[in-house]
A and B are shown apart, each in its own frame.
Chain A
């Protein structure tokens, strides 16, 4: 069932990680990514991994959920790892047989790349698992608000993003419903060649388009009925507020970054 898609889905909860300000979490995610790409030693990666594991534990996110997020990327990860393994230039051969050359440098590169991608993806999933989509949009809007001075329509962009996010579950539900309705009329969506399958999608896509336009229209009418006229002068029901825990979170982030830089300098 489509409903069972959990990729990057918010896991409601009430832990320290959930309660952190979304701005803090967004900034810390950037710090985390920076640290990940600064690290270049085994110990460095271990430290980054420890930071991720600690945050996941604090947020009560089961390790299984983080691993599950990696699954769709498995193919790309394996593919790049193999490329790295066999096509890294170097002289320290492990295997050198005709055109097949595997070097220690290649092995190291492949391993480092794998670890980086895995940590990168699980780190960003940790953000979406513990922060509701609306909180993320709010946080992004707040962080990007200086760009308003440059006439970037930050408010409109964030509104578009929240509407898009808001309608993802609705559209999934609708797709599910229309799919069931057409299957009930004997539609076969699963077998046949490429052309046949593409044709079989029409009974699904047409009603979906029609209802999406209808929904967009209804939403626009509803917004106008409530005298909506853009972001100018709007107040919020939930005002973002930093708390003591956010300060501590920033301290942890700074420590992580500093630690990684020291490790890099010392080549540990």
Chain B
């Protein structure tokens, strides 16, 4: 059974007013368990609307969302219940911090689940360790931390709920390259350690290239779904959808346009290097 199944989901904002807008339009999507899935799409393609249906924050205009085969909108209880199984980290999550101390803020989610105090504390400490927060920050006010640290606290707040599916909307937006890399590494490590599933919404193609699977959204529908190498084969189509390509895929596309017979599906630098060297007849020796 797939982890999450979305059936002909449609969502219309402000229906019946001059501001009516169809954000998600009859979308079908299946997410399998235990992998990292990247969700990419141009601004306004419906990514944010889609992910808010996955933990019942938005109700569909029509269609259904199934988590482990069960309709998450079946009742008020199931809608609240799913939020503990599907964790959602919004864009710029640092603006949601409110508690007096870092540890208290991370504990907010588990506390809402009415767990034992000892269990709450264990989860909070574990989540803080996963995102790399040092022990001495635990008793500080989250508002006194730096931007990058606030981001970590906010992400830890969702990790502490120990979700089976973790959805992150642009978790690395506004971080410096080193911080971005570091955060991704930590999230991937967390996923492996817990055998959970991650859905990563991103504009950063180098992050997308590292996912196990990619879903491309366009105008509220799934335009493409497959492994990164399958998806990046459609380089021209991605560009027409207003998306970037990973640098290596972009260079390969330009070389192909200049008449080099490079194979399809190149999206990492080593792949590109090997392909170019193979063409030059020198074999795959590293430079």
Chain A positions near chain B (C-beta within 8 angstroms): 3-4, 6, 11-12, 174, 177-178, 180-188, 202-203, 206-207, 210-211
Contacts and interface: CB of A to CB of B under 8 A. Distances in A.
Which of the listed residues A188, A207, A211 has the most CB atoms from chain B within 10 Å of its own CB?
A207
A182 B158 CA distance: 10
B95 A178 contact: yes
Interface string B68-108: 00000000000010011001111001011110000000001
10 contacts: A11-B18, A177-B90, A181-B95, A184-B158, A186-B80, A186-B83, A186-B161, A210-B95, A210-B143, A211-B95
A192 to B, nearest CB: 12
Nearest to A174: B95
Contacts of B55: 184
Among A185, A187, A202, which residue has the most Cβ atoms of chain B within 10 A? A185
Given A186-B109, A206-B98, 4 more contacts: A4-B14, A180-B52, A181-B90, A203-B108
Contacts of A185: 83, 96, 108-109, 112, 157-158, 161
Q: Which of A4, A184, A203 has the most CB of B within 10 A?
A: A184
B254 to A, nearest CB: 39
A184 B18 contact: no
B57 A180 contact: yes
A49 B55 CA distance: 48
Task: Enumerate the 8 nearest inter-chain pairs by beta-carbon distance, A residue then B residue, closest first.
Answer: A186-B112, A206-B98, A181-B96, A185-B109, A184-B88, A181-B90, A203-B98, A180-B57
Contacts of A180: 52, 57, 90
Contacts of A188: 80, 112
B90 A187 contact: no
Contacts of B90: 177, 180-181, 184
B13 A3 contact: yes
Interface residues of B, number: 27
Contacts of B109: 185-186
B17 interface: yes
Contacts of A210: 95, 98, 143
Nearest to A176: B57
B17 A207 contact: no
Interface of B: 13-14, 17-18, 52, 55, 57, 80, 83-84, 87-90, 93, 95-98, 108-109, 112-113, 143, 157-158, 161
Contact of B57 (A4, A183, A206): A183
A3 B14 contact: yes
A126 to B, nearest CB: 16
A11 B113 CA distance: 43
Nearest to B51: A184
B112 A181 contact: no
Nearest to B13: A3
Nearest to A12: B18
Contacts of B96: 178, 181-182, 185, 203, 207
A196 to B, nearest CB: 12
Contacts of B97: 207
Contacts of B57: 180, 183-184
Contacts of B143: 210
B159 to A, nearest CB: 11
Contacts of A206: 98
A186 B113 contact: yes
A16 to B, nearest CB: 18
Contacts of A6: 17
B17 to A, nearest CB: 6
Nearest to B106: A185
Contacts of B52: 180
A40 to B, nearest CB: 37
Nearest to B79: A183
Contact of B84 (A181, A186, A207): A186
A239 to B, nearest CB: 28
Contacts of A182: 96, 108
B112 A187 contact: yes
B95 A207 contact: yes
A202 B113 contact: no
A172 to B, nearest CB: 13
Given A3-B13, A184-B57, A186-B161, A202 B18 contact: no
Contacts of B108: 182, 185-187, 203
A12 B88 CA distance: 35
Contacts of B83: 183-186
A154 to B, nearest CB: 33
A178 B108 CA distance: 14
A11 to B, nearest CB: 6
A177 B52 CA distance: 11
A181 B93 contact: yes
Contacts of B88: 181, 184
A160 B87 CA distance: 40
- Find the residue from A12, A181, A187 having the highest chain B CB count within 10 A: A181
Nearest to B100: A206
Contacts of B14: 3-4
